[in-house]
A and B are shown apart, each in its own frame.
Chain A
Amino acid sequence: MKRISALFLVLGFALSVSSVWAQSTLVYGTTDKVTDMDPASAYDFHTWEIFQNVSSGLMAYTPGTTNLVPALATGYTINAAGDEYTFKLRKGVKFSNGTPFTASVVKWNIDRVAKLNGDPAALVTQYVKSVDVVDDYTVKFVLTGPLSYLPALVATPTYFPMDPSVYPVDKIAKDVGELTGGEIVALGPYRLTSFKRDEEAIFEANPNYWGKEPGIKKIIIRYFADATTMRLALEKGEIDLAFKSMNPSDVNDLMKSGKFNAVKIPGPQIRYLCFETSESVFTNKALRQAVAALINRPEINQKVYLGQNAPLYSMIPMGMSYHTDDFKTAWGDGNVAAAEKILKGLGYTKDKPFTFDLWYTPSHYGDPEVNMAEVLKAQLEKTPLVRTTIKSAEWATYKQQFNNKQMPAYFLGWYPDYIDPDDYTSPFAQTEGSKGNGIFFSSKVWDDLFIQEQQTTKDAVRNSTFAKMQKMWTDEVMTAPIYQGNLYVFSKKNVSGVKIGPTLIFNYDQLKLAK
């Protein structure tokens, strides 16, 4: 008994001591993981979020909106042909170690990204031919062709300038420990002062920041292995904010309880089914159509996500320009009749059904993934003419299997790199991008359409091109859209300033903690 009361005493002490920190620090829980702490290699949501807070780009989005405004740049001009952008840089900006920010720094970083050819390198190499230093505060981007959305591209972390004396020029730095001085040196509102992979990351306000000082001086990210534990930590008050990824049942409970601020972010993140179109059973587009017809999106949304997402009928998400609902008009949901017509026409019967492997990846997109596979399997097998086997592979292997064309049908997801319908279409249907995502679709007709929409700035032309593309998509079906997801941020009542817009960029410097 004595021992137990001693323990309670100790615990009481612990709680009182800990509350001293709470006032100037925010603890943020997430189940996401950091990949490589290097803009030349990172191409995932969470690592980009970190870069968006420890570094800055030439252009940036006003928090919570899709308005691009100058950040490290003060403005830009475009030449007549539309294939050269000249940026004027902000003067007097220094890195936290005193290195001045100049045009050569910009060039050094982008050249490095192109040279190292990591995952996001295509964001540079596909569009930028060269970066030229005009003078200390003027930099010129020479592009491969006319491009309307370069300003959006320079707002992505891949283009962010890092201190050249810190990042190794010839290889990718996976961990902070590999950097000279052991710390990321960049130009953002926060500095990353401590990082223990999969445990915690500590951010402190950057005294040399060129912009407005952040509201909260210290932010600690706590990494959780699973969403359930994170939810409980939030409920017990151990963390102040939780973002990505909650289980749907947890989202429901937290919203119902009314004890937390809940911010729902509609954002353009989509989930869809991909097909390997060059060598698998799905080379025949009729079979892709049949499978797409059988998908019952509202049912998936209800069963797996408890109604928290929205069925999606086009690869271009709702809320983005030019979106249409073509898949709904063309195929509908759970259209067994249409599917059976196609399958019977191809000679499949109850005794000789169409069989294929359906792949998913268990943790990269959150826990409910396996349920989505199970529900889709049940939907596909509503007709005796289809039989599928569910298979899974962890993300690293999953990605590898794109190249090896090992997965005839597989689930994938997409967060925006830049806010433009092109980002939701060309990676899957344009020859180069399609290869990188394991779909291997290639068609001159399609490639020409892409060039057409990429190189014009005329809204009318892009509108008609994308309208045409979406209709053609229901015929080609190299991917079948399933749902558009909502993200949820839950925080304690005294936390405010969560401004995440369609860009899904989370700016920590906007957060405020009331006493």
Chain B
Amino acid sequence: MRWFGRSRRKYRTEWWIMIAGVLIIVLILTMTVFPHVFARFDPNDQDAGGQMTAPSAAHIMGTDNLSRDVWARVVYGARTILGVAIAAALLSAIIGIPLGLLSGFAGGMFDRILSLIMDSVYSFPGLILAIAFAAMLGPGVINITLAVAVVYIPTYFRLVRGQTLSIKEEVYVEAARAIGARRGTILSRYVFPNVIATVVVVLSLNIADAIMTEAALSYIGLGLPAGIPDWGMDLSMGKKFLPSGVWWMITFPGLMIMLLALGFTMLGEGLAEILNPRLLER
């Protein structure tokens, strides 16, 4: 754990940023796992209180146009958005990383073609791609996860491929090959562990991005069917009542989206600053 101590002394601010991020994430994760601890009302209870009442002691975030408790919808909505974002990010990683490893390691025509495809998709505006997929697949949790996942596969591919290419030239890999290690062994024992540190950072930032994409999709109405509490959709619902002075229906879901994305961003950024020097050392 020696590098741990050294890093902490040098990068104090980065540590605090990371810890703040982790705290936010942990808080919201607890919300998803134990929603009933946080929210007294059911998010679909249409008799929770008055219709469109402002935040008060009974309803700290007010009630919406169908008399549902906004705080309850925020708490239960965390599940939806976090679930989709994490699942999508993991899915992208599971597909993108092996492809990147293979491509970087194998080289040649296979690598050239795959890279071209991935670069093309990568340079294309991600949200538009997600919209196209979501529109084609239709509403539903699985569909929206797939739509979001597709966008980020190239991210992992490029990252891992780049790392693989540079590590491939390292001396210790050449040595391994010299002593006759099989390709699979080289990949798993030497290349992969070095790649993984960067992947964790990217995963964290990626989840933040996936959160924003999912929120955007449900805001446009391409996300989940009605009935499942969802921050993006509640935002687009609440928009109608803004000129009537009902500000709480859009403020709180929006704030939560920002907070959650920020949490993962801070975690990712903090990790990046901390882990990077270590990688450089080797």
Contact, chains A and B (beta carbon distance below 8 A): yes
Name A's B-contacting residues (CB within 8 A).
Answer: 226-228, 231-232, 235, 247, 249-250, 252-253, 302-304, 306, 362, 367, 370-371, 373-375, 377-378, 389-392
* A residues less than 8 Å from B67 (CB atoms): 303
* B residues less than 8 Å from A304 (CB atoms): 66
Which of B46, B221, B240 makes the CB contact (< 8 A) with A228? B240
A-binding segment of B116-124, B180-188, B195-203, B241-249: B241-249
Pairwise interchain contact A227-B240, C-beta atoms closer than 8 A: yes
Complex: how many Å from CA A429 to CA B134?
Answer: 38
Complex: how many Å from CA A406 to CA B13?
Answer: 58
Pairwise interchain contact A370-B244, C-beta atoms closer than 8 A: no
Counting CB contacts under 8 A, is B193 at the interface?
Answer: no
Pairwise interchain contact B242-A390, C-beta atoms closer than 8 A: no
User: Which secondary structure dominates chain B's binding surface?
Assistant: loop
Interface string of B121-144 (1 = CB under 8 A from A): 000000000000000000100000
* A residues less than 8 Å from B244 (CB atoms): 249-250, 252-253
Pairwise interchain contact A370-B226, C-beta atoms closer than 8 A: yes
* B residues less than 8 Å from A371 (CB atoms): 65-66
Counting CB contacts under 8 A, is B227 at the interface?
Answer: yes
Counting CB contacts under 8 A, is B225 at the interface?
Answer: yes
Known contacts A303-B51, A378-B44: A249-B240 contact under CB 8 Å: yes
Q: In the complex, which of the residues A302, A371, A392 has the most CB atoms of chain B within 10 Å of its own CB atom? A: A371
Complex: how many Å from CA A235 to CA B244?
Answer: 12
Q: In the complex, which of the residues B52, B67, B226, B242 has the most CB atoms of chain A within 10 Å of its own CB atom? A: B226
Pairwise interchain contact A373-B46, C-beta atoms closer than 8 A: no
Pairwise interchain contact A303-B243, C-beta atoms closer than 8 A: no
* Chain B count of residues within 8 A CB distance of the other chain: 20
Q: In the complex, which of the residues B221, B225, B239, B240 has the most CB atoms of chain A within 10 Å of its own CB atom? A: B240
Complex: how many Å from CA A165 to CA B242?
Answer: 50
* B residues less than 8 Å from A392 (CB atoms): 139, 225-226
* A residues less than 8 Å from B240 (CB atoms): 226-228, 247, 249-250, 367
* A residues less than 8 Å from B65 (CB atoms): 249, 303, 371
Pairwise interchain contact B227-A249, C-beta atoms closer than 8 A: no
A381 to chain B, nearest CB (A): 9
* B residues less than 8 Å from A306 (CB atoms): 51
Complex: how many Å from CA A370 to CA B51?
Answer: 17
Identity of the chain A residue whose Cβ is nearest the Cβ of B51 in the assembled complex: A303
Which of A226, A228, A390 makes the CB contact (< 8 A) with B227? A390
Known contacts A303-B67, A374-B66: A362-B227 contact under CB 8 Å: no
* A residues less than 8 Å from B242 (CB atoms): 228
* B residues less than 8 Å from A362 (CB atoms): 221
A407 to chain B, nearest CB (A): 14
Pairwise interchain contact A378-B46, C-beta atoms closer than 8 A: yes
B244 to chain A, nearest CB (A): 5
Interface string of B60-97 (1 = CB under 8 A from A): 00000111000000000000000000000000000000
A93 to chain B, nearest CB (A): 46
Interface string of B36-73 (1 = CB under 8 A from A): 00000000101000011000000000000111000000
Name B's A-contacting residues (CB within 8 A).
Answer: 44, 46, 51-52, 65-67, 139, 221, 225-227, 237, 239-244, 246
Please list 17 pairs of residues, one from A and one from B, whose beta carbons are closer than 8 Å in the complex, sorted by A's number. Answer: A228-B242, A228-B243, A249-B65, A252-B244, A253-B243, A302-B51, A303-B46, A304-B66, A306-B51, A370-B226, A371-B65, A374-B227, A375-B66, A389-B227, A391-B225, A392-B225, A392-B226
* A residues less than 8 Å from B239 (CB atoms): 228
* B residues less than 8 Å from A253 (CB atoms): 243-244
* B residues less than 8 Å from A375 (CB atoms): 46, 66
Complex: how many Å from CA A229 to CA B265?
Answer: 34
B194 to chain A, nearest CB (A): 48
Identity of the chain B residue whose Cβ is nearest the Cβ of A363 in the assembled complex: B221
Which of B46, B225, B243 makes the CB contact (< 8 A) with A390? B225
Of all A-B residue pairs in the complex, the 3 with the closest CB atoms, nearest first, are A249-B244, A390-B226, A378-B46
B144 to chain A, nearest CB (A): 15
Complex: how many Å from CA A378 to CA B244?
Answer: 26
* B residues less than 8 Å from A370 (CB atoms): 226, 237
Complex: how many Å from CA A228 to CA B46?
Answer: 24
A390-B225, A392-B139 known; 9 new pairs, CB 8 Å cut-off, are A247-B240, A249-B65, A249-B241, A249-B244, A250-B243, A253-B244, A373-B226, A375-B66, A391-B225
B82 to chain A, nearest CB (A): 23
Identity of the chain A residue whose Cβ is nearest the Cβ of B233 in the assembled complex: A370
Complex: how many Å from CA A253 to CA B246?
Answer: 12
Complex: how many Å from CA A389 to CA B227?
Answer: 8
Complex: how many Å from CA A247 to CA B240?
Answer: 7
Identity of the chain A residue whose Cβ is nearest the Cβ of B68 in the assembled complex: A374
A229 to chain B, nearest CB (A): 9
* A residues less than 8 Å from B241 (CB atoms): 247, 249
Pairwise interchain contact B225-A303, C-beta atoms closer than 8 A: no
* A residues less than 8 Å from B46 (CB atoms): 303, 374-375, 378
B218 to chain A, nearest CB (A): 13
Identity of the chain B residue whose Cβ is nearest the Cβ of A381 in the assembled complex: B44
* A residues less than 8 Å from B52 (CB atoms): 249
Complex: how many Å from CA A454 to CA B46?
Answer: 44
Complex: how many Å from CA A374 to CA B225?
Answer: 11
Identity of the chain A residue whose Cβ is nearest the Cβ of B228 in the assembled complex: A390
* B residues less than 8 Å from A389 (CB atoms): 225, 227
Which of B221, B226, B246 makes the CB contact (< 8 A) with A374? B226
Complex: how many Å from CA A391 to CA B237?
Answer: 17
Identity of the chain B residue whose Cβ is nearest the Cβ of A231 in the assembled complex: B243
* B residues less than 8 Å from A247 (CB atoms): 240-241
Q: In the complex, which of the residues B51, B139, B237, B243 has the most CB atoms of chain A within 10 Å of its own CB atom? A: B243
* B residues less than 8 Å from A232 (CB atoms): 243
* A residues less than 8 Å from B237 (CB atoms): 370
Identity of the chain B residue whose Cβ is nearest the Cβ of A229 in the assembled complex: B243
* A residues less than 8 Å from B226 (CB atoms): 370, 373-374, 390, 392
Q: In the complex, which of the residues B44, B51, B225, B227 has the most CB atoms of chain A within 10 Å of its own CB atom? A: B227
* A residues less than 8 Å from B139 (CB atoms): 392
A318 to chain B, nearest CB (A): 26
* A residues less than 8 Å from B44 (CB atoms): 374, 378
Complex: how many Å from CA A304 to CA B226?
Answer: 15
Identity of the chain A residue whose Cβ is nearest the Cβ of B227 in the assembled complex: A390
Complex: how many Å from CA A421 to CA B168?
Answer: 81
* B residues less than 8 Å from A235 (CB atoms): 243
* A residues less than 8 Å from B221 (CB atoms): 362
Complex: how many Å from CA A10 to CA B42?
Answer: 53
Identity of the chain B residue whose Cβ is nearest the Cβ of A306 in the assembled complex: B51
* B residues less than 8 Å from A390 (CB atoms): 225-227
A400 to chain B, nearest CB (A): 14
Pairwise interchain contact A303-B227, C-beta atoms closer than 8 A: no
* B residues less than 8 Å from A373 (CB atoms): 226
* B residues less than 8 Å from A391 (CB atoms): 225
Complex: how many Å from CA A90 to CA B268?
Answer: 80
Complex: how many Å from CA A377 to CA B66?
Answer: 12
* A residues less than 8 Å from B227 (CB atoms): 374, 377, 389-390
Identity of the chain A residue whose Cβ is nearest the Cβ of B44 in the assembled complex: A378
Identity of the chain A residue whose Cβ is nearest the Cβ of B64 in the assembled complex: A371
